[in-house]
């Protein structure tokens, strides 16, 4: 089931949560809505589910307009951030709920419901937990019950609101991999909301980056990470270094260094900022080319196999961070206070007309 979102806007009082959103979610894909808090991602998810109504615009499933269809008739599975399991029901009663509340003629027989519950418990790897109450389960187990409960009604689409947000780092990683595997088995169009870029990059087929009620960029994880469409996406998806300078006919002058900016050949003498990922910065002792920028080593710390080196640019007060391998670090044998040259292997230059830092 594909989802089409057309010109959707939503206000809460004077706060504009969604501003004219247009989005197509293809059939059978796992899509992440990624953004900081207040970006409108959860509101958009709730509008798709029908838990929130759009002030303007339309929601379509496979081209059929569902804007005015009540949530209970939309056949969506919704998984809540804090699970929202029914506390007074056992795991199996929770899972069976959606089937038991059906009208008599649509309701499966008691034995069919029981069979379905067993099947789902197997799917979410919680065999033997059928008679537990939610309070007797761990966070990860609860979330799997919530997922099984949502899947029990055979929803046309699955919507997950920060599904792993309340879990600790290790469980979160396990569970999201498991969700990915589950999605590959079940193939249901799924949308999940997250503020964790790593989670989105790890799991999703497609990422929709949102900010201040608008879609900043959408694409595959690689597209979004490697070719950010805006300074916001650059900043939000991973760390980034900023090199401020003056842009003149395809060259960005940062202090004494010159960075190539072939996409800005027609620009003459304006302020601009070059965006460089920490792992795209190389460190050398000697100035090998025009684009090597002198910097002073201030601090270094290692995280696992990687070393982060913090440096201050010699010609300005700005700090940059490079990410290099431990081997390279040992080879360089850097000392605090030493002057080195950093070279961006890849740089993306944005002219500040279209943004403000």
Partner 1 sequence: MEPSLSKPMERQPVRKRKSSKESKGVKIALISIAILYLSLLLFVPLIAIFIKAFEKGVDVYLAAITESDALSAIKLTLLVAVIVVPLNTIFGIAAAWLVTKFHFKGKQLLLSIIELPFAVSPVIAGLVFVLLFSPRGVLGLWMVEYGIKIIFSVPGIIIATIFVTLPFVARELIPVMQEQGTSEEEAAVSLGANGWQMFIRVTLPNIKWGLMYGMILCNARAIGEFGAVSVVSGHIRGLTNTLPLHVEILYNEYQFSASFAVASLMSIMAIITLVIKSIIEWKTEKQEV
By the criterion CB under 8 A, which residues form the site for partner 1?
49-51, 71-78, 80, 82, 84-88, 97-98, 101-102, 128, 133, 135-136, 138, 146, 149-150, 152-153
Helix residue spans in the chain (DSSP H): 41-49, 91-100, 110-123, 139-152, 169-186, 197-203, 221-226, 231-236, 326-332
Q: Which is nearer to partner 1, 125 or 187 (CB)?
A: 125
Q: Which is nearer to partner 1, 86 or 299 (CB)?
A: 86
Q: Which is nearer to partner 1, 107 or 345 (CB)?
A: 107
Q: Which is nearer to partner 1, 40 or 140 (CB)?
A: 140
Q: How far is CA 226 from CA 52, 119, 262, 327, in A?
A: 34, 41, 18, 25
Write out the two tokens for 4.
Answer: 């089409």
Look at the block and give the residue holding tokens 């689409």.
157
CB of 78 to partner 1, least distance (A): 4
Q: How many CB atoms lie within 10 A of CB 289?
A: 10
CB of 97 to partner 1, least distance (A): 6
Q: Which is nearer to partner 1, 25 or 295 (CB)?
A: 25
CB of 40 to partner 1, least distance (A): 18
Q: What angle do CA 152, 153, 158 make, to 5 degrees?
A: 90
Q: Which is nearer to partner 1, 73 or 333 (CB)?
A: 73
Q: How many CB atoms lie within 10 A of CB 153?
A: 17
Q: How far is CA 20 from CA 11, 23, 37, 130, 154, in A?
A: 11, 10, 19, 44, 31
Q: Which residues pair with 193 in a beta bridge?
A: 33, 161
């Amino acid at each position: 089931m594909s989802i089409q979102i057309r010109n959707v806007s939503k206000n809460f009082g004077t706060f504009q949560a969604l501003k004219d959103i247009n989005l197509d979610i293809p059939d059978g894909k796992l899509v992440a809505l990624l953004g900081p808090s207040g970006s409108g991602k959860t509101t958009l998810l709730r509008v798709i589910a029908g838990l929130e109504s759009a002030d303007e615009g339309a929601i379509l499933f496979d081209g059929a307009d569902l804007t005015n269809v009540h949530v209970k008739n939309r056949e969506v599975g919704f998984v809540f951030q804090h699970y929202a399991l029914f506390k007074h029901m056992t795991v199996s009663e929770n899972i069976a709920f959606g089937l038991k509340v059906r009208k008599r003629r649509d309701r499966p027989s008691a034995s069919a419901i029981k069979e379905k519950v067993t099947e789902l418990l197997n799917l979410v790897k919680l065999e033997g937990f059928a008679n537990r109450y939610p309070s007797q389960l761990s966070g990860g187990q609860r979330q799997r019950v919530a997922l099984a409960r949502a899947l029990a009604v055979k929803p046309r689409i699955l919507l997950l609101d920060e599904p792993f947000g309340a879990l600790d780092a290790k469980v979160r990683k396990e569970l999201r991999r498991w969700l990915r595997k589950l999605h590959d088995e079940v193939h249901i169009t799924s949308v999940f909301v997250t503020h964790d870029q790593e989670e989105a990059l790890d799991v999703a087929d497609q990422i929709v980056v949102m900010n201040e009620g608008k879609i900043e960029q959408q694409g595959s994880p690689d597209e979004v990470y490697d070719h950010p469409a805006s300074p916001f996406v650059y900043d939000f998806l991973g760390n980034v270094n900023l090199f401020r300078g003056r842009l003149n006919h395809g060259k960005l002058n940062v202090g004494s260094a010159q960075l190539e900016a072939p996409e800005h050949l027609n620009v003459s003498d304006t302020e601009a900022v070059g965006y460089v990922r920490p792992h795209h910065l190389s460190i050398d002792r000697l100035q090998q080319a025009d684009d090597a920028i002198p910097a002073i080593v201030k601090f270094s710390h290692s995280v696992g196999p990687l070393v982060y080196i913090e440096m201050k640019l010699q010609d300005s007060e700005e700090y940059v961070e490079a990410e290099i391998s431990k081997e390279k670090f040992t080879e360089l044998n850097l000392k605090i206070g030493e002057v080195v040259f950093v070279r961006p292997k890849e740089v993306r230059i944005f002219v500040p007309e279209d943004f403000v830092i």
